[in-house]
Amino acid sequence: MSLVLVLGLAVALAMDCFAVSMGLACGLRGLTARQSVRMASFFGAFQFGMPVLGWFAGESVVRFTRGFDHWLAFGLLALIGGRMIYESFNLSDEEKACRPDQTRGVRLLVLSVATSIDALAVGLSLGVIKAGILYPAGVIGIVCFVMTIIGARLGPAVGRAVGKRAELAGGLILIGIGLRILVEHLRG
Protein backbone atom coordinates (compact mmCIF):
# COMPACT_ATOMS: atom_id res chain seq x y z
CA MET A 1 0.00 0.00 0.00
CA SER A 2 1.44 3.39 -0.97
CA LEU A 3 2.25 6.01 1.65
CA VAL A 4 -0.06 8.54 -0.06
CA LEU A 5 -3.00 6.13 0.10
CA VAL A 6 -2.31 5.23 3.73
CA LEU A 7 -1.95 8.91 4.71
CA GLY A 8 -5.20 9.80 2.97
CA LEU A 9 -6.98 7.00 4.80
CA ALA A 10 -5.39 8.04 8.10
CA VAL A 11 -6.40 11.70 7.72
CA ALA A 12 -9.97 10.71 6.80
CA LEU A 13 -10.25 8.49 9.89
CA ALA A 14 -8.61 11.11 12.13
CA MET A 15 -11.02 13.92 11.23
CA ASP A 16 -13.64 12.73 13.72
CA CYS A 17 -11.00 12.63 16.46
CA PHE A 18 -9.82 16.11 15.51
CA ALA A 19 -13.36 17.51 15.67
CA VAL A 20 -14.27 15.68 18.88
CA SER A 21 -11.08 16.79 20.64
CA MET A 22 -11.68 20.38 19.56
CA GLY A 23 -15.31 20.19 20.70
CA LEU A 24 -14.37 18.71 24.06
CA ALA A 25 -11.53 21.19 24.58
CA CYS A 26 -13.84 24.02 23.57
CA GLY A 27 -15.84 23.52 26.76
CA LEU A 28 -12.82 23.36 29.05
CA ARG A 29 -10.93 26.32 30.42
CA GLY A 30 -7.75 25.40 28.60
CA LEU A 31 -6.12 22.01 28.32
CA THR A 32 -2.85 21.06 29.89
CA ALA A 33 -0.27 19.23 27.83
CA ARG A 34 -1.02 16.13 29.92
CA GLN A 35 -4.74 16.26 29.09
CA SER A 36 -4.02 16.75 25.39
CA VAL A 37 -1.57 13.85 25.29
CA ARG A 38 -3.94 11.61 27.26
CA MET A 39 -6.79 12.30 24.84
CA ALA A 40 -4.52 11.85 21.81
CA SER A 41 -3.11 8.62 23.23
CA PHE A 42 -6.57 7.12 23.72
CA PHE A 43 -7.83 8.21 20.32
CA GLY A 44 -4.61 7.11 18.58
CA ALA A 45 -4.59 3.74 20.35
CA PHE A 46 -8.20 3.03 19.40
CA GLN A 47 -7.60 4.18 15.81
CA PHE A 48 -4.64 1.79 15.70
CA GLY A 49 -6.41 -1.09 17.41
CA MET A 50 -9.74 -1.10 15.61
CA PRO A 51 -8.31 -1.75 12.12
CA VAL A 52 -6.16 -4.52 13.58
CA LEU A 53 -9.23 -6.00 15.27
CA GLY A 54 -11.22 -5.75 12.03
CA TRP A 55 -8.37 -7.35 10.05
CA PHE A 56 -8.09 -10.29 12.46
CA ALA A 57 -11.78 -10.72 13.23
CA GLY A 58 -12.79 -10.71 9.62
CA GLU A 59 -16.25 -10.49 8.20
CA SER A 60 -18.03 -11.92 11.25
CA VAL A 61 -17.41 -8.89 13.50
CA VAL A 62 -18.25 -6.33 10.83
CA ARG A 63 -21.31 -8.32 9.73
CA PHE A 64 -22.43 -8.35 13.38
CA THR A 65 -21.96 -4.59 13.87
CA ARG A 66 -22.80 -3.35 10.37
CA GLY A 67 -26.49 -2.96 11.13
CA PHE A 68 -26.04 -0.70 14.13
CA ASP A 69 -22.48 0.67 14.21
CA HIS A 70 -23.64 4.08 12.97
CA TRP A 71 -26.42 4.16 15.57
CA LEU A 72 -23.91 3.23 18.28
CA ALA A 73 -21.51 6.00 17.27
CA PHE A 74 -24.36 8.51 17.02
CA GLY A 75 -25.82 7.45 20.38
CA LEU A 76 -22.51 7.71 22.21
CA LEU A 77 -21.66 11.11 20.74
CA ALA A 78 -25.21 12.43 21.27
CA LEU A 79 -25.18 11.25 24.88
CA ILE A 80 -21.93 13.03 25.69
CA GLY A 81 -22.84 16.10 23.60
CA GLY A 82 -26.26 16.29 25.23
CA ARG A 83 -24.69 16.12 28.65
CA MET A 84 -22.32 18.96 27.74
CA ILE A 85 -25.26 21.06 26.53
CA TYR A 86 -27.22 20.32 29.71
CA GLU A 87 -24.24 21.25 31.87
CA SER A 88 -23.69 24.48 29.93
CA PHE A 89 -27.12 25.70 31.08
CA ASN A 90 -27.46 24.04 34.47
CA LEU A 91 -24.06 24.20 36.19
CA SER A 92 -22.60 27.32 37.73
CA ASP A 93 -18.99 28.26 37.03
CA GLU A 94 -18.07 27.00 40.51
CA GLU A 95 -19.75 23.62 39.88
CA LYS A 96 -17.98 23.32 36.51
CA ALA A 97 -14.64 24.03 38.15
CA CYS A 98 -15.25 21.21 40.68
CA ARG A 99 -16.09 18.59 38.04
CA PRO A 100 -13.69 15.70 37.50
CA ASP A 101 -11.28 15.97 34.57
CA GLN A 102 -13.32 15.66 31.37
CA THR A 103 -10.39 14.08 29.46
CA ARG A 104 -10.27 10.86 31.42
CA GLY A 105 -12.38 7.98 32.58
CA VAL A 106 -15.53 6.62 31.01
CA ARG A 107 -16.23 9.73 28.92
CA LEU A 108 -12.85 9.47 27.18
CA LEU A 109 -13.26 5.72 26.68
CA VAL A 110 -16.72 6.17 25.14
CA LEU A 111 -15.44 8.90 22.80
CA SER A 112 -12.51 6.70 21.80
CA VAL A 113 -14.84 3.87 20.81
CA ALA A 114 -17.32 6.17 19.07
CA THR A 115 -14.66 7.81 16.91
CA SER A 116 -12.94 4.56 15.92
CA ILE A 117 -15.84 2.35 14.82
CA ASP A 118 -15.23 3.17 11.13
CA ALA A 119 -11.64 2.00 11.52
CA LEU A 120 -12.96 -1.51 12.23
CA ALA A 121 -14.44 -1.68 8.73
CA VAL A 122 -11.21 -0.31 7.28
CA GLY A 123 -9.32 -3.18 8.90
CA LEU A 124 -11.75 -5.68 7.44
CA SER A 125 -11.33 -4.13 3.99
CA LEU A 126 -7.57 -4.36 4.25
CA GLY A 127 -7.89 -8.01 5.24
CA VAL A 128 -10.15 -8.75 2.27
CA ILE A 129 -7.61 -7.34 -0.20
CA LYS A 130 -4.85 -9.22 1.64
CA ALA A 131 -2.98 -6.05 2.56
CA GLY A 132 -0.74 -5.94 5.60
CA ILE A 133 -2.22 -4.31 8.68
CA LEU A 134 0.53 -3.11 11.00
CA TYR A 135 1.94 -0.42 8.70
CA PRO A 136 -1.43 1.18 7.85
CA ALA A 137 -2.70 0.84 11.43
CA GLY A 138 0.49 2.44 12.76
CA VAL A 139 0.20 5.38 10.37
CA ILE A 140 -3.52 5.74 11.21
CA GLY A 141 -2.73 5.77 14.95
CA ILE A 142 0.08 8.32 14.60
CA VAL A 143 -1.90 10.65 12.34
CA CYS A 144 -4.86 10.45 14.69
CA PHE A 145 -2.60 11.24 17.66
CA VAL A 146 -1.25 14.35 15.90
CA MET A 147 -4.68 15.51 14.67
CA THR A 148 -6.12 15.08 18.17
CA ILE A 149 -3.33 17.20 19.68
CA ILE A 150 -4.01 19.90 17.08
CA GLY A 151 -7.77 19.80 17.79
CA ALA A 152 -7.19 19.86 21.56
CA ARG A 153 -4.89 22.86 21.22
CA LEU A 154 -7.34 24.77 18.98
CA GLY A 155 -10.37 23.97 21.17
CA PRO A 156 -9.68 26.45 23.99
CA ALA A 157 -9.09 29.26 21.49
CA VAL A 158 -12.40 28.45 19.83
CA GLY A 159 -13.98 28.31 23.30
CA ARG A 160 -12.66 31.76 24.17
CA ALA A 161 -13.98 33.12 20.87
CA VAL A 162 -17.41 31.61 21.55
CA GLY A 163 -17.39 32.88 25.12
CA LYS A 164 -19.53 31.72 28.01
CA ARG A 165 -21.40 29.12 25.94
CA ALA A 166 -18.26 27.28 24.80
CA GLU A 167 -19.48 24.05 26.38
CA LEU A 168 -22.74 24.42 24.49
CA ALA A 169 -20.75 24.76 21.26
CA GLY A 170 -18.67 21.71 22.15
CA GLY A 171 -21.80 19.64 22.80
CA LEU A 172 -23.34 20.76 19.52
CA ILE A 173 -20.14 19.80 17.68
CA LEU A 174 -20.25 16.28 19.17
CA ILE A 175 -23.92 15.84 18.25
CA GLY A 176 -23.19 17.19 14.76
CA ILE A 177 -20.42 14.63 14.27
CA GLY A 178 -22.79 11.89 15.41
CA LEU A 179 -25.46 13.09 12.98
CA ARG A 180 -22.92 13.17 10.15
CA ILE A 181 -21.91 9.58 10.88
CA LEU A 182 -25.57 8.54 10.99
CA VAL A 183 -26.49 10.30 7.73
CA GLU A 184 -23.43 8.94 5.88
CA HIS A 185 -24.22 5.37 6.89
CA LEU A 186 -27.93 5.66 6.15
CA ARG A 187 -27.19 7.03 2.66
CA GLY A 188 -24.54 4.39 1.89
Whether the predicted pLDDT of 30 surpasses 80: no
Full residue range of the structural domain in which residue 108 is found: 3-187
Q: Tell me what percent of the residues of the chain surpass a pLDDT of 70.
A: 84
Q: What one-character-per-residue DSSP string does 80-145 give? A: HHHHHHHHHHHS-HHHHHTSPPTTSHHHHHHHHHHHHHHHHHHHHHHHHTT--SHHHHHHHHHHHH
In this prediction, residue 134 carries a pLDDT of 95
Instruction: Write the pLDDT tens digit of every residue in 126-175.
Output: 886 778 899 999 999 999 999 999 998 888 787 777 666 766 776 787 78
The structure's pTM equals: 0.74
For residue 166, which of 97, 83, 88 has the smallest C-alpha distance? Answer: 88
Closest CA to 107 of 2, 179, 35, 4: 35
The count of domains in the chain is: 1
Could you tell me which residue, 19 or 52, shows the higher pLDDT?
52
Segment 85-125, tens digit of pLDDT:
887 787 665 555 556 677 888 889 988 998 888 888 788 87
